[in-house]
Amino acid sequence: MSTKDKLPIKSKYIEHNIIHYQQCFNWDCGIACVMMLLPTEQRDYLRKHFTKICLDEGFLQSTWTIDLCYLLKRFGIEHCMYTIVKAVNSRRAINDGIDYQACKRVENRILNAEEAGICIKEKELTVKEILSHVECKGPAIVLVDSPLLICDLCKHNKMKAEFRRAFGGRYKGHYILVVGHSGNKVLYRDPALSARLCATSLARLHAARRAPGTDFDVILVNKDLRRCLI
């Protein structure tokens, strides 16, 4: 963990008011994060036309971070993607059993992103930089290795995470929506869970997002839904 991430955060409570949405399948966590960012009318539209929109976007059983960018663009949400590799991650492709044509689809979306008006920056953001954005501008969609992320409030996966750290295990990519912080705790919404607010430490989020396969993918969303209590 970098020195920057170890710096104390001002003692305040910040949370973006988000209506929780739980994913419907084992692959649509990223889409669920996007749904949490949509106003009611757009969310209902996406739910009603889910299959058609997924087919229009070129995916149905797997999404990549770039796919979420195109979906955000489709619904007019300003954002910027940060990653350390502007290409298909071969490790993830192998783990997910993704074929050549699917990889080419993702590569083409990345290559055409600028023309489509989508911002991608090849840079690793620290957790503190993510929280700085969340504090001032909007939520962040973050790709993590799910078994490594422990919620201090519900601790639903604490045993699983400890087992993973001790014995290793297969990478399981998962998108969460970071919505705020309380002192030195990161507040987030996990679409795999029913409606609740989760919290974890900076160190745990850092560990979960640095696993091979994540490429430190983050989408910073410019949509201010904050409530701030000093």
pLDDT tens across the length of the chain (230 residues): 554 555 444 568 999 999 999 999 999 999 999 999 999 999 999 999 999 999 999 998 899 999 999 999 999 999 999 999 988 876 666 566 667 788 889 999 999 999 999 999 999 999 999 999 999 999 999 999 998 998 998 855 555 555 555 555 677 899 999 999 998 899 999 999 999 999 999 999 999 999 988 999 999 999 999 865 54
User: Are 186 and 201 contacting, i.e. CB atoms less than 8 angstroms apart?
Assistant: yes
CA distances from 173 to 36, 43, 93, 176, 216 (A): 19, 24, 11, 10, 11
pLDDT value at residue 51: 96
pLDDT value at residue 165: 54
Domains and CATH numbers, the chain: 3-229 (3.90.70.10)
Phi, psi of 16 (to 5 degrees): -85, 130
List the structure tokens of 82.
Answer: 């940060």
pTM of the model: 0.89
CA distance 34 to 67: 11
For the chain, the first-to-last Cα distance in angstroms comes to 27
Q: Strand runs (DSSP E) across 60-99, as ranges? A: 79-83
User: Are 82 and 214 contacting, i.e. CB atoms less than 8 angstroms apart?
Assistant: no
pLDDT value at residue 103: 87
Residues 6 or more apart whose Cβ sits within 8 Å of residue 173: 92, 95, 96, 143, 144, 145, 146, 213, 214
User: Are 189 and 198 contacting, i.e. CB atoms less than 8 angstroms apart?
Assistant: yes
Residue 191 sits at the vertex; the CA angle it makes with 189 and 192, to the nearest 5 degrees, is 120
Residues 6 or more apart whose Cβ sits within 8 Å of residue 175: 29, 30, 32, 33, 68, 141, 142, 143, 144, 191
User: Are 21 and 36 contacting, i.e. CB atoms less than 8 angstroms apart?
Assistant: yes
pLDDT value at residue 95: 63
